Amino acid sequence: MLRSTLFYGAVVALGIGIGFKVYLLRPSPLPPMDFDRWWGDGPQPEDEDASIRPFVIVFNESMVEDLKSRLRNRRPFTPPLYGAQSQYGMNTKYLDELLTYWSDKYNFTERAERLNKFSHYKTTIQGLDIHYIHVKPEGKGKKVLPLLMLHGWPSSSKEFDKVIPMLTTPKDGYEFIFEVIAADLPGFGFSQGTRKPGLSPLQVGTIMSNLMRRLGHNMYYIQAGDWGSQVATHMTTFIPHEILGFHTNMPVSSRPISNVKYIIGSLFPNLIMDEKYINRIYPIRKLFDYVLRESGYFHLQATKPDTIGVALSDSPAGLAAYTLEKIGVCSNRHQLNTPHGGIENIDRDDLLDTVTIVWANECIVTSMRIYAEAFAHADVFMMHNIPTVVPTAAINFKHEVVYQPDWILRDKFLNLVRSTTHDFGGHFAAMQTPKALADDVFESVKEIISFRLNY
C-alpha cells in the first residue's frame, strides 16, 4: 500500500512538474501592433510630413550662460561622512571639482563641433520629430550593411560617436562595412518626447521600424544596449523578417522560465555556466544585495518620474550628480571606495556631453518616463514571453548591470550564434570600450551571415 501511494505520488509530482514546465515555456500570443499610432500633439493629420531635414547641434549662448550661472551660484554641498567615499552616493567634494570643470573648462562650442562631424538629421515619425546620425562608409569594394544603433538612459546617439568611425571604416578580414543610423529614442537627446501615455519600449520599436523604412531599409542589423536593447529585442520579436541580425551588449531574457532557471541555477551553478563567471550572479544573496543597493533610481523612475524630474530639470548640479553617479556605478560597481565612484572609467568630456545634451533639451523627464511605461502595459510583458528566431550575438562586459549565461539567454534568443564574455568594461560600452565593441560587432555579423547561409 505504501509503495503504491509513493508511486502514485511520484507520478502526480512528475505530472505537475511537466505541466509547470510546459506552462512556463508556452509563449504568449503576439499582441496587435499599430505602426501608425499617433504620438504627436492633437489629432493625426491626413498628410504626415515625411521630409528628412538636416540638423546641426548648437549649444546656444543663452543656454550656456544660464547653465554656467546656475553652476557658479550653487549652494554649498553637504560634505561626505568621515571615511566615506562614494558608498552613500555622489561624493560631493568630487562633484564640486566636476562642476567647476563643467562651468569653467568644458568647451561647449568645440564639443558641439565635434558632434557635428557626423551628418545629423530629423524626420517626423508618428507625430514625433526623431533625431538620428547617419553615416555612410567611404570605403569601396565592400558590401554595405545597414546598422541601426540604439542607446539607453540617460544617453543619446552621442554615446556612439567613438565607435561609429570604427564601424564605417574598412576592416581587414571582413568583406562588409556598415552604414550607421544612430537614433535618439523618443524623449531622449534631440528627439521629441510625447505628451500621450503609452510610449513603451515596445511602441518605440514601431517608430524605429518606420524610421528605417523611411530611409529605404526594409531589412537591417541592430546594435543596442540598455533600453535600446529592450526596444531592439521587441523588434526582433514582432518584425523578425526585418531584422537580419541583432548584436547587444545588454542581453536579457525576461521570460518566466528564465526567472525559474535563475533559482535552479543557484543550486547547481557549475552545471550551467563557466565557473569563472559564477560570481557574476551567484550567490543569489549577493546579487540581491547589489540590486537593493543600486536600484532605487529604477523604482523611482518606474513609478513617479515626474516628481524627481522637477528637481533635476531645475538644477544642473543635481542633474549631474544624479545621472553621473549611476553611470559611474554601471562602469565599475566595485569602485565605491573611491571619490569618483567609477566615473573616471569614461572620459570626462564624454560624460559632460551626455549631461549637457539632457540639460539643453530639457529631456530628463521625458527620458525617465520610459521606465514607467515599460511596466504599465500588458502587451510589453506578452512580448517578453515570445522567443525570437532572429540570429543574435551577445557581448557581456564585466560590470554590466545584469549577467545571464547562455543557458538562460536561449530562452528568448533561440538562435544565439555568438556569446562573448570579457573581464573588463561596463554598461556604457560604446564610450568606455569602443574598440572592443566595434570588433565584436564585425565578428558577430560575420557569424550571423554564415549562420543565415547555412540555416
**274 tagged catalytic:** no
Check 161, 226, 350, 379 and give the catalytic one: 226
Write out the three cell numbers for 20: 509547470
Closest of 129, 121, 120 to residue 48, by C-alpha: 129
| Measured CA distances, 283 to 261, 262, 268, 290 (Å) | 14, 11, 11, 11
DSSP for 408-427 reads HHHHHBTTEEEEEE-SS--S
Maximum C-alpha span of the chain: 89
**371 tagged catalytic:** yes
Q: Residue 405, preceding bond cis, omega within 30 degrees? A: no
Q: Strands 220-224 and 243-248, how do they pair? A: parallel
Q: In what order do the strands lie in the sheet with 416-421?
A: 52-55, 120-125, 128-135, 176-183, 143-150, 220-224, 243-248, 392-396, 416-421
**334 tagged catalytic:** no
Q: Strands 128-135 and 143-150, how do they pair? A: unpaired
Q: Which amino acid is at 324?
A: L
Check 129, 371, 377, 403 and give the catalytic one: 371
Q: For residues 294 and 297, give the distance between their C-alpha atoms in angstroms, rounded to a whole number.
A: 7
Q: For residues 409 and 253, give the distance between their C-alpha atoms in angstroms, rounded to a whole number.
A: 5
DSSP code of residue 66: H
Phi, psi of 414 (to 5 degrees): -65, -30
Structural contact between residues 224 and 150, judged by C-beta atoms closer than 8 angstroms: yes
Helices (H), 132-214: 164-167, 201-214
Residues in Cβ contact with 213 at an 8 Å cutoff, skipping those fewer than 6 apart = none
Q: Which residues pair with 285 in a beta bridge?
A: none
Look up cell 566595485; give the residue. Answer: 334
Write out the three cell numbers for 393: 550575438
Catalytic residues: 226, 371, 427
